[in-house]
Homo-oligomer: A and B are copies of this chain.
Amino acid sequence: MKRLILASASPRRKEILTQLGISFEVRSAAISEELSGPFQEEYPRILAERKALYVSKQEPDFPVLGFDTLVFFNGEVLGKPRDEVEALATLEKLNGNAHVVISGVSLAYQGKLISSAAERTEVFFRQLSKEMLEKYVASKEPLDKAGAYGIQGLGAGLVRCISGCYYNVVGLPVAKTLEMLEAFEEKYD
């Protein structure tokens, strides 16, 4: 397989690709994450495409994977909280409820988009006391996470169950990504 480039500096995505036994290099994509329009569920795929294409234009000889992950609740995008107050407010929304995590994944090569997809995982939170949510916020874990929790950390204790791909919630839809790489390999290697 050709050398693969990951257009993401996320340590969690690097960990998952490494876990899968895939070799890669990292190039960050300096793209605008501004989007508008009513089709919010399309945003992760659109942003993943922008990232993959940005890096592919600089590194046309190698396949480039781009990703983006957003947390949706009641039609609203829940981003990374600005502070502990916003983290607690976000967790109080998710508490006892179901929400959706959508990751986009895109593969670009020679400056062109090869394939692009989105994966959707439903996450069901346990019903926790305000005291327990405050204790979680005090751990600081929510502060750099979309939706104010990390399912791969202490935040595992907030979740009752999921429906879909677990790694998609962490930030990388494993099955979709592997299918994309396998199809690329078949065609281009």
- Which residues of A are in contact with B by a Cβ distance under 8 Å? 16, 19-21, 121, 126, 139, 151, 153-154, 156-157, 159-167, 174-175, 178-179
Contacts A19-B156, A21-B154, A154-B19 given; indicate if A164 touches B164 (C-beta within 8 A). Answer: no
Q: Would you give 16 A-B contacts (Cβ < 8 Å), ordered by A?
A: A16-B156, A19-B153, A19-B154, A19-B156, A20-B154, A20-B157, A121-B161, A126-B175, A126-B179, A151-B166, A156-B174, A157-B175, A159-B175, A160-B165, A161-B163, A162-B163
| A129: min CB distance to chain B, Å | 9
Partner of A175, one of B21, B161, B178: B161
A179 neighbours in B (Cβ, 8 Å)? 126
Summarize A's interface: helix, strand, loop or mixed.
mixed
Roughly how many angstroms separate A174 CA and B158 CA in the complex, as a whole number?
A: 9
| A172: min CB distance to chain B, Å | 10
Question: Copies of this chain, how many?
Answer: 2
Inter-subunit contact B163/A163 (CB<8 Å): yes
Closest to A135 in B: B21
| A28: min CB distance to chain B, Å | 24
Roughly how many angstroms separate A179 CA and B153 CA in the complex, as a whole number?
A: 18
| A29: min CB distance to chain B, Å | 25
A139 neighbours in B (Cβ, 8 Å)? 21
| A5: min CB distance to chain B, Å | 19
Roughly how many angstroms separate A179 CA and B161 CA in the complex, as a whole number?
A: 14
